[in-house]
Amino acid sequence: MSSAYVDTSVVVAIAFGEPEARTIGQRLGGFDRLYASNLLEAELLSVCRRKRRAVPEHLVSRFNWVFPIRRLTPELRAVLGAGYVRGADLWHLACALYVAPNPAELSFLTLDQRQAEVAAELRFHLD
């Protein structure tokens, strides 16, 4: 079973028909399970409201939402040990580590270059 953690940048690109949207949509379709933090939902709703666009419910409904039941201090420290990222990106990467303590078992999909660099350092698949 192939699984991926999806960052907000991926869904926003699809929702707004950015040039890479078709390729990204095909990549998402290749995974059996998609994971995302509920932060993705908040970020997506915010940008859709700002741009006066509908929320792409067909995408949002595919996610297995990550709701940590404990503090993510070990994961947050591991991410920061791999490199600096902003708070929201830090949270997405930490949630991905929560889902897959062995990052080699999970793909991490993002369009954010810095976040991708840190994900690679952590050994997530970047596909």
Q: Which domains are delineated in the chain? A: 3-121 (3.40.50.1010)
Whole-number pLDDT of residue 12 = 93
Q: Which tens digit of pLDDT belongs to each residue from 23-78?
A: 988 999 999 999 999 999 999 999 999 999 888 888 889 999 999 999 999 999 99
| Residue (of 106, 111, 89, 93) closest to 21 by Cα position | 111
81 vs 52: CA distance, rounded Å: 38
- φ/ψ (deg, to 5) at 8: -55, -35
25 vs 27: CA distance, rounded Å: 5
pLDDT band for position 1 (cuts 50, 70, 90): low
Between helices 87-99 and 113-122, what is the axis angle to 10°?
30
